[in-house]
Amino acid sequence: RRQEELRGKAELSVAETEERDRLAELVRELGWFLEDLRDPESPTTWVADQTNSGAITIKPMDPARYLHHTVWDRGNRFALLSATILDKAAFCRSAGLNPDNVALVDVPHTFPVENRPLYDVAQGKMTYAERADTLPAVARTVVRLMQRHDDEKGLIHAHSYDIADRLRDLLGDFGVGERVRGHDAENRDAALASWKRSDRPDVFVSVKMEEALDLEGETCRWQVLCKAPYPNTNDSRVARRLEDDQWAWYYRTALRTVIQACGRVVRAPDDHGATYLADTSLLDLFERARTDMPPWFEEQVDRMSRPELPEFDPSAAAEAASGRSAARAAGGRRQSRESARPGDSGAPPSDGSADIEDHPLSDVWGDG
C-alpha cells in the first residue's frame, strides 16, 4: 500500500525516492521467495520461528542455493580463510560447492601447543535441568582461578545471559564482585572496550564472544568455558536437522565454536593463554567429535590436565583488585600533581563504541 501511495505522487522528495526504491527491492525479493515457496518441485525446505513479540522469521534450511546468487556467481576464484573447516565434504555440501572444484589447503598450526593449554575443571553438567546444581560449583572454581591468576585478566564464556547473570550474582555473594565485570545486549561493545583498556586484573563475564575477539598479550591470559556451546534446539532449523538425524552436524557445530573460543587468548606464536573447561559436557563433546578435530587441536585435547588450584579463599581473589586500585589511585594522584594544567577538564575520554547486532555468519557458513 505504501508503495502504491509513493507511485501515485507526482513529485517525491529524496527520502521518499529512497523509500520507494527500497520497497521495490523488498517486493522483488518477496516475490522470489513466494515463487520458491509455492513451487512443489523446489528443493528448499523453509522453517519459521516466531518470537514473543509476534515477529516471524522464515529461513531456508540450506542456504546453498542462495549463496550462488549472492556470492559464487560474482567471481571466478575465492579464498576462504578459516581454522575451523572441520569437514570438507560437509562444508561444500552446505555452501553449494562442488568438492571437485574445491582445494582444502591444510596448514599446520604455528602456535606452540605448550602456549595454549587446556585444563579440566569440570564441575558437572550445565544443561538447563542441571545447571542450578552445577553453577555454584563453577562459581567457586572461578574464584579459585582468580586466586591462581591474581594479577591477570580473565574472560568467562557464559553462553547465555541467564548463566551470566546468575554467575555474577554468585561471585558477588562470594565477595569478589569488585573484580568482576559484565555486559548486557545494549552495552556489550562499550563494556568490552572498557575492560580491555583497564590495567586491573578483572574478570569479564561475556555472552556470545567465542568468535572475532582479539585478546592478545596481557589483555587476557585465561578464560573459562562455562557450557558446551551446542546449537539451540528451540531454533526450528536445529530441531529439523536433529529430526533428520544430523547429529554429526550438531556435535561438529559445537566443536567448531569451542575451537574458536580457545583461540581468543592466544593470538601469536609468542603469546600464551590458558583455557579452563567447567562443563563435563565439553569432555563428552571431545569424545563424540574427535574424528572431526584438526590434528593441532587434538594434540591440545590430548595434553589436557586437571590443575592444582588454591583452596577456596574469596578474600585472596579480591585482594588483587584492591591492591591494583590503590596503586593506580596513588599513581593517578602523582600524575595529577605533575601534569595538571589550567583548563584541563580531567574528564575521561569518551568510549565511542557503538553497539552492533550479532552477525548471523553461522547461518551461512555452518556446515551440514
Q: Do 149 and 35 sit in the same domain of this protein?
A: no
Same domain, 39 and 124: no
Question: What is residue 345's predicted lDDT score, i.e. its pLDDT?
Answer: 35
Domain presence at residue 195: yes
Q: Is 159 in the same domain as 54?
A: no
Residue 229 belongs to some domain of the structure: yes
3-state helix vs strand vs coil in the chain, percent to 5: 50, 10, 45
Helix 247-262 to helix 295-302 angle (10° resolution) is 80
pTM reported for the whole predicted model? 0.78
Number of domains in the chain: 2
Judgement on whether residues 162 and 281 belong to the same structural domain of the protein: yes
- Alpha-carbon gap, residue 265 to 216, rounded angstroms: 6
End-to-end alpha-carbon separation of the chain, Å?
40
Task: Centre a 10 Å sphere on the Cβ of residue 174 and count the other Cβ atoms it contains.
Answer: 20
CA 318 → CA 153, 192, 222, distances in Å?
Answer: 13, 21, 17
Q: How far apart are CA 175 and CA 295, in angstroms?
A: 42
Q: What is the pLDDT of residue 126?
A: 97
Same domain, 176 and 258: yes
Distance of CA 156 to the CA centre of its chain: 11
Q: Residue 203 pairs with which residues in a beta bridge?
A: 154, 180
Residue 290 placed within a domain: yes
CATH number at residue 233: 3.40.50.300
- Whether residues 199 and 266 share a domain: the answer is yes
Same-domain check for residues 149 and 24 = no
Q: Is the residue at 73 inside a domain? A: no
Same-domain status, 43 and 129: no
Q: CA 80 to CA 144: how far, in whole Å?
A: 41
Q: In which region does residue 258 sit, left (phi positive, over 0), alpha (psi from -120 to 50) or beta (all else)?
A: alpha
31 and 123 inside one domain: no
The per-residue pLDDT for 341 is 35
Return the half-sphere exposure (C-beta side, CA atoms, 13 A cut-off) of residue 17.
5
- Judge whether 155 lies within some domain: yes
Domain boundary among the residues 28, 44, 60 is at: 60
Query: What distance in Å separates the CA atoms of residue 20 and residue 9, rounded to the nearest whole number?
Result: 11
**Residue where a domain stops, chosen among 310, 325, 351:** 310
The whole domain housing 54 covers: 18-60
Residues β-bridged to residue 56:
50
Q: Residue 84 domain-assigned? A: no
CB 159 within 8 A of CB 135: no
Residue 205, beta-bridge partner list: 156
Same domain, 131 and 234: yes
Say what the alpha-carbon torsion angle 305, 309, 314, 315 is, to the nearest 10 degrees. -140
Average pLDDT, consecutive stretches of 10 residues, N- to C-terminus, the chain (368 residues): 81 86 83 79 78 81 77 91 88 90 91 98 96 97 98 97 97 97 94 96 96 94 97 90 93 96 96 98 97 95 98 93 55 42 35 36 46
In a domain, residue 281? The reply is: yes
Same-domain pairing of 162 and 24:
no
One DSSP character per residue, 284-326 reads: HHHHHTGGGS-HHHHHHHHT-BPPP-----HHHHHHHHHHHHH
Domain assignment present for residue 82? The answer is: no
Answer with the one of 271, 291, 310 that is the final residue of a domain. 310
Alpha helix (H) residue ranges in the chain: 2-7, 14-38, 64-70, 88-95, 131-148, 161-173, 188-197, 236-243, 247-262, 280-288, 295-302, 314-339, 361-365
- Together in a domain, 305 and 195: yes
